[in-house]
Structures are given as structure tokens and as C-alpha cells.
Amino acid sequence: MKKIILTGDRPTGKLHVGHYVGSLKRRVELQNSGEYDDIYIMIADAQALTDNADNPEKVRQNIIEVALDYLACGLEPEKSTLFIQSQIPQLTELAFYYMNLVTVSRLQRNPTVKSEIKMRNFETSIPVGFFCYPISQAADITAFQATVVPVGEDQLPMLEQTKEIVRKFNSVYGETLVEPEILLPDNEACLRLPGIDGKAKMSKSLGNCIYLSEEPEEIRKKIMSMYTDPEHIRVEDPGKLEGNTVFTYLDAFCKDEYFAEFLPEYANLQELKDHYTRGGLGDVKVKKFLNNVIQTELEPIRKRRQEYQKNIDYVYEILKKGSEKAEQVAAQTLNDVKNSMKINYFQDPELIAEQKKKYQ
Ligand code: ATP
Ligand code: MG
């Protein structure tokens, strides 16, 4: 069986370091591993519209931002197909058929949808499209016969939903769709990187992000204001690591070589953590170190972005070509789906012969 990747992001803002450690970094590694037959990276504008119906301009403006962030991180159009969801009408058609295989109560139980509804204060006025987006995500994944979906932890319920739809479809209409596997980050801190406020996950919609394209000074200010251990007041106080965002970020980004470069008194992160919990290590010193680490990680990304920013025509051309290719693949799957469901009336000579016989 072919090894195929599908993943994507909503164009609701520029991408942030949570996206980077949760999914983007992995995608680039997988792309460069040469182990995959096809890689599809989708800008999920139609999904973004499900909770931004009154603000299509936000979505329209952010398509290029997400594309620039992709290219900046090292996704390459020669190796990965970058495309825009709304330009592939077959995805909507697939979702429409999958809707019949899912119950309302099953969607209501989806924990990610539940928490997103709360976060957006939808209460009882949930847009139907938003409520159904896990089904549309199943359409996106299966349209490309994806075997692997590299995403953050919040996407686990979506993958479960997709698998259920695949099983149900195949059992009702015969083997047609491929069941995908989720690929979560190995590093626990990257599963759901918290925002700089230390509260919820870093999310474009919550304004608690460090963006990949942000200027160094902005990043430094955000890091210096980050949430740590509120009871660690004086340098001598013993500090807590649990819920301490600065250490979570170090878990996500730090490599031993950064100690040699920026903080040679310690050999590795464990030594730094031990000192912090013993007491005698101030937050400012740890934050300055984290700033050096993040600046080092983000500098090449920012530079590459600046190059692509000079050639916006080329970036749109990449998305157009990618969307054309994606449409061909999705059309093939939709064709298979309609054949399996036997809603291919005009390509079904058996059906026509049967009906003729009925009236002879
Ligand atoms: P929105 O607030 O509009 O939903 P978002 O910041 O949650 O935006 P998405 O586009 O929904 O971003 O998510 C894109 C991908 O990034 C998904 O695979 C998701 O799991 C991953 N991701 C998003 N935020 C984080 C995070 N804080 N930590 C790890 N992975 C994340
Ligand atoms: Mg999200």
C-alpha cells in the first residue's frame, strides 16, 4: 500500500510555534525522509469559514500567510502538494455522503468540538457547518487516501471520527476507503503547547501565541513576560516545573548543544531543572536562555519567509498548481465512492438493463 500524508491548518492567522512543534516540524522531516509516496498539505479555508462566516476577509488574507509559513519552515512544492481546501469541490461532495453515516449525538460527544464551542461562546447558536467539521475533515483525509496524518493532540478525536466513518462506509458499501493513522509528536511537551499565558493551548483564536514570523524583539518581550511558577518569588525559593510554561517550552525546543552555546554552566536541561527546583535559580536567567533557544530556532524560518515574501506571485502559483493536482486525486476517490454507493447511474449498464427488463 502507498504511504500518503495529509494534514493542514486553518487560515485564521499566521502560524505559531505550537503549530511548529505540534505538526509542521514533523511534516518537514517526513517530507525529507523520502519514505512517502505523496504528501498533501491543505490550507483549510472552508473549515475556517465554519466559525468565521461573518469574516471571510480574515480567511482570505491569511491564506498567503499560512502558505508563506509553510515554505518558510521548509515544505517544498516539488516534494509536497500545497493546496486550498475550497478549490476542491469533491471534498464537499464526499462530506455530504459521509454525513449520513454519523449521528448527531456522536458529534456532540467529540471533546475537541465541545471545548471549541465553549471557547467560541457559541452556546446554543452553533453553526451547523462548524458542528459538522469533523465530518468534513474525514472527507479531506480520505479523499487523498491518506495513511498517515501528522497533527497535534487536539486532533485525536477527529482521527477517531474519520476511522469510524471509514469502517462504516466500507462495511455498508464495500472496501473503498483507507483507514488513516494519526502521528502525534514524540515529545510530550509538543502534543499541546500551552500559550504564553500558560492557560490553554497556544491558539490563533486566543491571542496567546509566539508567531513564526514575529520580529526578534517582539518574541523577546513575550518570553520575558511568560507565565512561570507564581510562588517562585525570590531567586532562593525552590521553583515548580509543573505548569511552568518556560520549562514546557524548553522541553519542546531545547537541545543539549544550546547549553554549550548559551548557558555553559549546565550540561543539559535536567541540570537546569534540578537547580530550579532546589532554589537559587531566577526566572529571568531561564527566560533569557529560552529566548536564545527560540531565536536560534526561528531565525532561519524568518529569513526564508522574507525571501518568499518578495515573490507572492510564485506562492499563489504553487497553491494553484497544488490545488489542480489535489482536485484530480479527490475526483478519483469521489468516483470510487459513488461507484461503491451505486450512485453512478449513467455509468451503470446493469442498472439500465435491469430497469428495461422490469418494463418489458
Ligand atoms: P484556531 O484557533 O483557528 O483553531 P489553531 O491555532 O488551533 O487555530 P489549527 O489550524 O486549528 O490551529 O491547527 C493546525 C494544526 O496545528 C493541528 O494539527 C493542530 O493539532 C496543531 N496545533 C495547533 N495548536 C497547537 C499547539 N498549541 N500545540 C501543538 N499542536 C498544535
Ligand atoms: Mg484549532
For residue 205, pLDDT over 80 is answered with no
Q: Identify whether residues 20 and 116 lie together within a single domain.
A: yes
> Is residue 208 assigned to a domain?
no
* Ligand found nearest the CA of 7: 1
Q: Identify whether residues 249 and 344 lie together within a single domain.
A: no
Q: Which domain holds residue 273?
A: 216-308
Which atom number of ligand 1 is nearest to the Cα of residue 10?
A: 10
- Per-residue pLDDT tens for 42-92? 999 999 999 999 999 999 999 999 999 999 999 999 999 999 999 999 999
Cell of 162: 474519520
Q: Is 58 in the pocket of ligand 1 (CB under 6 A)?
A: no
Q: Identify whether residues 66 and 143 lie together within a single domain.
A: yes
> Is residue 107 assigned to a domain?
yes
* Average pLDDT score over residue span 33-43: 97
- Per-residue pLDDT tens for 157-187? 999 999 999 999 999 999 999 999 999 988 8
Q: Identify whether residues 268 and 331 lie together within a single domain.
A: no
Q: Is 203 in the pocket of ligand 1 (CB under 6 A)?
A: yes
pLDDT > 70: what percent of the chain? Answer: 100
**DSSP one-letter code for 190:** G
> Is residue 274 assigned to a domain?
yes
Q: Is 202 in the pocket of ligand 1 (CB under 6 A)?
A: yes
- Which one, of 16, 15, 120, 12, lies nearest residue 59 by Cα? 12
Candidates 154, 201, 206, 253: which one to mutate for ligand 1, based on the most atoms within 8 Å of Cβ? 154
> Is residue 11 assigned to a domain?
yes
**DSSP one-letter code for 22:** I
Tell me the whole-structure pTM to 2 decimals: 0.93
> Is residue 203 assigned to a domain?
no
Alpha-carbon Rg for the chain in angstroms: 23
The domain total for the chain is 2
Q: Identify whether residues 61 and 146 lie together within a single domain.
A: yes
Q: How far is the CA of 24 from the centre of ligand 2 (A)?
A: 14
Determine which residue's CA is closest to atom 21 belonging to ligand 1.
152
Q: Identify whether residues 79 and 182 lie together within a single domain.
A: yes
Q: What integer pLDDT is reported at residue 359 of this predicted model? A: 94
Structure-derived torsion over alpha carbons of residues 245, 222, 24, 43, reported in degrees to the nearest 10: 120
